[in-house]
Amino acid sequence: MTYHDDAVVPHPLQATRVRTLASTARVTEVETLADGRTLSAPGAVTEGGYPVVLVQPGTTLHAALFDRPGDVAARVTLQVPREFGGHRLVRATLAACGWLSALPESRLRPAAVAIAEHYPDEMLFTALEYADDPDAPLIAELDLASIDRSEE
């Protein structure tokens, strides 16, 4: 860490390391910070470096993102996998905090492709085809405010 005018600023190599880890990460869960509710949600990180998640209808997060368009303060847990001796292990866990918002229709396809690389699921097609339907899943993106890592 580097201290600059009493603010803690990540060292450039640390920031690069986190970006590298995040580029291969998959989302495992989302926690809404207002109420501390955690839900399992498939997701990934887009080529642009933003975590995206598939949010199922009927959840409080879906209702918050669909009914009241805007941002929801959230923490997204990302896991970075690695293969070792034929076993899939977790290399690192990243906790990304920021503001979660539903993606507009024009940005859904690249996000769905990123998620499908880790979690191929028919619900992604439903999210793409019925983007304006309140009973369909939606894809949301996290605008990053901070990220913490713990390597295993």
pLDDT surpasses 70 at 101: yes
pLDDT surpasses 50 at 19: yes
Lowest mean pLDDT among 19-28, 73-82, 104-113, 121-130: 19-28
pLDDT surpasses 80 at 3: no
List C-alpha distances in Å: 131 to 8, 27, 40, 87, 96: 40, 21, 21, 37, 25
For 49: left if phi > 0, alpha if psi spans -120 to 50, otherwise beta; the answer is left
Contact 127, 105 (CB under 8 A): no
pLDDT surpasses 80 at 127: yes
Tokens of 32: 């809404």
For 85: left if phi > 0, alpha if psi spans -120 to 50, otherwise beta; the answer is left
Q: Are strands 7-9 and 38-45 parallel, antiparallel or unpaired?
A: unpaired
Res. 68 pLDDT band, cuts 50 70 90: confident
Contact 103, 139 (CB under 8 A): yes
pLDDT of amino acid 2: 43
Give this prediction's pTM. 0.83
Lowest mean pLDDT among 38-52, 88-102, 117-131, 138-152: 138-152
